Amino acid sequence: MALVPGRTALVLIDVQQAFVEREEAGERRNNPQALANIGRLLAAFRERGMAIFHIRHASTEPDSRLRPDRSGYRPIEAAREREGEPVLVKHVNSAFIGTDLEKRLREAGHETLVIAGITTNHCVETTTRMAGNLGFDARLVADACYTFDRIGFGGQAESAEAIHRMTLSNLAGEFATIETTDTVLASLAGRAAA
């Protein structure tokens, strides 16, 4: 389905320095091209004058890199907002809780949300689920999100790739349409992806 300017918004979730710091500290992530793809999405939406919402997480946890007084709170430079692009600050893992995101989207007539950001299985997943539950046409851009390896329930090591893939599988069809950066850009250009 085509992405219609005026009815479509880009929602970028937690594209913040804390996640670069985690990688610099040795944590392994998937989707090495994710930040470049976020940049491509931003450029395409800006070029067309389409709505962009930047979501920033402000942790209340004392040791979190995402506390507003820490360097990790800052946006990653490649995804920094420009004048006129709203930044909504959240304190939980959904961009719809404690913000006026839903109100802004509805007042502007945005029905389709193109969603990207960090991390796939936390705030990206939660926001995408809620978007679907609230009746938005949620389009999660699989190659413009990433997550990290982690130790799962029972102490088993889980790879970032497996976590990412399972998250997408859980969301696909029921809560969101899973897209790629290329399919989104093709839809914006009014053509099918190659």
Q: What is the pLDDT of residues 43-63, one digit of tens each?
A: 999 999 999 999 999 999 999
Q: What confidence score (pLDDT) does residue 1 get?
A: 65
- Percent of the residues in the chain that have a pLDDT greater than 70, as a whole number: 97
- Whether the per-residue pLDDT at 165 is higher than 80: the answer is yes
Work out the percent of the chain whose per-residue pLDDT is above 90. 93
Distance of CA 4 to the CA centre of its chain: 19
Q: Is the pLDDT of residue 191 over 70?
A: no
Distance CA 164, CA 154 (A): 19
| pLDDT higher than threshold 60 for residue 19 | yes
Tell me the sheet residues that pair with 6. Answer: none
pLDDT digits (tens, 9 = 90+) for 87-104: 999 999 999 999 999 999
Provide the CATH number for the domain formed by 8-188 in this structure: 3.40.50.850
Domain ranges, ordered by start, for the chain? 8-188
Residue, of 192 and 26, whose pLDDT is higher: 26
Copy the structure tokens of residue 126: 């939660």
Cβ contacts of 26 within 8 Å, gap of 6 or more: none
For residue range 119-156, list pLDDT tens digits in order.
999 999 999 999 999 999 999 999 999 999 999 989 99
pLDDT at residue 159 in the model: 98
pLDDT in tens, 101-118: 999 999 999 999 999 999
pTM of the shown model: 0.96
Alpha-helical regions (H) of the chain: 17-24, 34-47, 101-108, 125-133, 160-171, 181-188
The most distant pair of C-alpha atoms in the chain lies apart, rounded to whole Å, by 48
Average pLDDT across the chain, whole number: 96
